[in-house]
Every structure is written in C-alpha cells, then in structure tokens.
C-alpha cells in the first residue's frame, strides 16, 4: 500500500475516533455510535467529492462557473442530508421530538463549507507526500541505474579492446575485413557511449548510419546503388537513433539480395530551422506480409511526440513499388 494511502487511512481513523469521543460524553453511546458514521460520511463526500471529482474535472479544465455551481449543489445537498438524518434519528430516540429548524440546516451547510475549505489543505498534503514518494523513488532508481551502468561498463570495454586486437591482427592479412571490424566496433561504441545521451552531433549520427549501411552491404550479393545526400551543418545536435528506423526498414523491406537492381536514395537536409530526412527504396516484401510501415514507424512516432509534441512531420507512402519515408523535425 502506498505511503499516501496509508496516511489517509490513519487520518480518517483519527477523524472517526475524534467524532465518536466528542459526541460520547454529551449524548451517550447510542447517539455517538449513530451520529458518528453520518458525520464521517459527510466529511468523506465533501472532501473527496471536491478534490477527486469536481476540482480536477471542472476547475482544472477551465469550466470554473460549472465548478462553482456543482460545489454549491454538493455542499447544500450534503449539509441538508446530514442535518436531516441527524435530526430525524435524534427525534426518534427522544421522548419530546424537536422540529427540524431552518437555522439548524444552515449550520450544517456552513459546516459543509468549512469542510470544503479543509479539502484543499487535504489535497495539498496528499500532493506533497505523493511528490515526496516519487522523488525518493526516482533517486533510488537513479542510484540503481548508476550502479548498473558501472557494472555494464566492464564487459563493453573488454569487448572493444578485444575487437581492436582482432582489427590489428586482421589488418595484416585482410585490410577490408579489418575495416568492417572497425565499423562494428564504432557501432557498439555508439550504443554504449552516445545512445544514452539526450543529444548527439549530426556528424556522429551520420557516421553511425554509414557504419550500419557498410555492414549491411556485406550481406548483398550485388553492389548496392545507394545515394546519400547530406546538406546540414556539422554542429547540429539531434536526439540519438532518430534516423535509424528509416534506414533499418530499407534493409528489411527495400532490398532484394538476389537482385542487381537495388537503388536506395537518402537525403538529410537542413532548411528553415528544420532537419528533413527522407528515404526512398523499392518494396519487395509486401507480398510476404512484412509491411514496411510497421512497429518501427509507430514507435518512432511515439518517441517524436514525446520529444517535439506536434511540432514534427512524419509520413510514409508506397506507390509504383517504391516506398518513401519522410521526417521533418525542428532544430533547437
């Protein structure tokens, strides 16, 4: 059970006991055990009716007039219901019943207004403890993440050093193979050192894409006709792995390994405060059920929404057996 929930339980138990023992000496046990649940329910309805329903649904959404109207209805209804029930049950147990007076009802409604004001203090207290609990949880997660990072750095560095040794050995006999090992090492270093960052240089991102493309090319039986237009400032910085989805989709769905006619077009252009990335490739695997616009594009769209809100443009289209992907994001 959350700390805030436990705290609320303790507060309400204390309120119930205070109500019970404040009535007990004056009106006796029967009245105390009868009237306490009514007053207790009244406080619950007014406080949670405001902070959990009316305030977030009406006031925080800008419907302030409706909020005021519904608060008045809540206070009048709850106050009159409480007053009527208490007076009714009180008269049932008394030898000389007393008439239900308007002034008595007004007192119960005024008590409801005071309870309404108290609900905001209650709401602030809940929000404070909730934020405090979240902050403690975030700090604990941060500490654990830092510990995990320290543990994880051992194996990647061992792997990088080993790849470097293999690279030097391979360079003597097969320089081409050594170059591929170097590209693989660069890709892995990017995942470890760059991808956790909020922003990376556009040069780093392009280098990562070029390494990935070079490694994918070794799986091709024929030479790949690939054009990559790059017209952007080298000092630009963008979120890491922002362009990878389009390139990955090309090699999943836009390449026929047995064909000698694989033409791929990529362009990365800076214009008017935006970065535009566009790819175009044939589509071979649609008939096999592997749609190019799948989970990768959907996940990319979710990430873009978190990063830029609605200030981006993403679309894909397939026509004449060609698949085009377009991404436009603001530069900050």
What's 280's domain CATH number? 3.30.565.10
* pLDDT score of 110 more than 80: yes
217 near 171, Cβ under 8 Å? no
pLDDT value, residue 267: 95
Average pLDDT over residues 249-259: 78
For 174-208, letters b (16+ CB in 10 Å) and e give eeeebebbbbbbbbebbebebeeeeebebebbbbb
Residue pointed to by tokens 């800076």: 270
* pLDDT score of 139 more than 90: no
Residue-range definition of the domain harbouring residue 307: 219-330
Cα distance between residue 34 and residue 45, in whole Å: 18
Please indicate, yes or no, if residue 204 is contained in any of the structural domains: no
Please indicate, yes or no, if residue 143 is contained in any of the structural domains: yes
Please indicate, yes or no, if residue 260 is contained in any of the structural domains: yes
pLDDT value, residue 325: 92
CB atoms under 10 Å from CB of 12, counted, come to 14
252 near 264, Cβ under 8 Å? no
E strand residue ranges, the chain: 200-201, 225-231, 237-238, 263-271, 274-282, 313-319, 322-330
Cα distance between residue 250 and residue 323, in whole Å: 9
Work out whether the CA dihedral 249, 253, 255, 258 comes out positive or negative. positive
Q: Which helix (H) or strand (E) holds 174?
A: none
Instruction: For residue 166, list its beta bridge partners.
Output: none
Please indicate, yes or no, if residue 30 is contained in any of the structural domains: yes
Do 142 and 231 lie in one domain? The reply is no
Do 235 and 124 lie in one domain? The reply is no
242 near 329, Cβ under 8 Å? yes
Most trustworthy range by pLDDT among 20-29, 80-89, 190-199, 235-244: 235-244
Please indicate, yes or no, if residue 208 is contained in any of the structural domains: no
Question: 325 by DSSP, 3-state: which?
Answer: strand
Do 143 and 260 lie in one domain? The reply is no
194 near 226, Cβ under 8 Å? no
Do 14 and 115 lie in one domain? The reply is yes
Residue pointed to by tokens 């208490």: 86
- Single out the residue of 225, 231, 226, 175 nearest to residue 202, CA to CA: 231
75 near 66, Cβ under 8 Å? no
Q: Which of 105, 132, 150 is the last residue of a domain?
A: 150
Q: Which of 110, 131, 150 is the last residue of a domain?
A: 150
Take residue 141 and report the two structure tokens written for it: 């997660």
Do 139 and 237 lie in one domain? The reply is no
Average pLDDT over residues 40-64: 88
Q: What is the mean pLDDT of the chain?
A: 81
* pLDDT score of 114 more than 50: yes
Average pLDDT over residues 295-302: 84
Cα distance between residue 211 and residue 193, in whole Å: 16
Instruction: For residue 324, list its beta bridge partners.
Output: 280, 317
Confidence of residue 297 (pLDDT cuts 50, 70, 90): confident
pLDDT value, residue 178: 81
Spatial CB neighbours of 265, under 8 Å, sequence gap ≥ 6: 226, 227, 229, 278, 279, 280, 281
256 near 220, Cβ under 8 Å? no
Average pLDDT over residues 304-322: 87
pLDDT value, residue 154: 47
Cα distance between residue 220 and residue 215, in whole Å: 10
Stretch among 54-58, 122-126, 197-201, 294-298 having the lowest mean pLDDT:
294-298
* pLDDT score of 152 more than 60: no
Do 119 and 239 lie in one domain? The reply is no
Cα distance between residue 191 and residue 159, in whole Å: 13
Q: Which of 150, 173, 195 is the last residue of a domain?
A: 150
Cα distance between residue 2 and residue 129, in whole Å: 10
């Amino acid at each position: 059970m959350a700390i805030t929930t436990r705290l609320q339980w303790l507060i309400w138990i204390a309120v119930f006991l205070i109500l019970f023992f404040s009535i007990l000496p004056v009106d006796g046990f029967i009245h105390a055990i009868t009237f306490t649940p009514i007053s207790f329910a009244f406080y619950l309805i007014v406080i949670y009716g405001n902070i959990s329903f009316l305030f977030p649904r009406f006031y925080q959404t800008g419907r302030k007039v409706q909020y005021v109207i519904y608060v008045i209805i809540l206070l009048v209804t709850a106050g009159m219901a409480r007053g009527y029930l208490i007076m009714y049950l009180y008269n049932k147990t008394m030898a000389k019943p007393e008439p239900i007076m308007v002034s008595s009802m007004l007192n119960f409604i005024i008590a409801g207004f005071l309870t309404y004001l108290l609900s905001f203090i209650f709401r602030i207290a809940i929000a404070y403890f909730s934020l405090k609990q979240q902050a403690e949880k975030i700090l604990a997660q941060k500490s654990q993440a830092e510990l995990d990072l320290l543990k994880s750095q051992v194996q990647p560095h061992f792997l990088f050093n080993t790849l470097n040794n293999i690279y030097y050995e391979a360079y003597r006999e097969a320089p081409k193979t050594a170059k591929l090992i170097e590209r693989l090492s660069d890709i892995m270093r990017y995942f470890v050192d760059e991808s956790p960052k909020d922003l990376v240089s556009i040069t780093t991102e392009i280098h990562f894409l070029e390494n990935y493309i070079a490694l994918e090319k070794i799986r091709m039986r024929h030479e790949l006709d690939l054009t990559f237009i790059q017209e952007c400032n080298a000092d630009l910085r963008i979120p890491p792995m922002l362009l990878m989805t389009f390139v990955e989709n090309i090699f999943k769905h836009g390449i026929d390994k047995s064909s000698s006619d694989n033409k791929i077009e990529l362009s990365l252009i800076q214009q008017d405060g935006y970065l535009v990335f566009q790819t175009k490739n044939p589509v071979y695997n649609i008939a096999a059920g592997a749609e190019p616009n799948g989970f990768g594009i959907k996940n990319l769209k979710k990430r873009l929404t978190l990063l830029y809100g609605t200030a981006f443009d993403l679309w894909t289209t397939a026509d004449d057996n060609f698949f085009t992907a377009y991404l436009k994001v603001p530069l900050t």
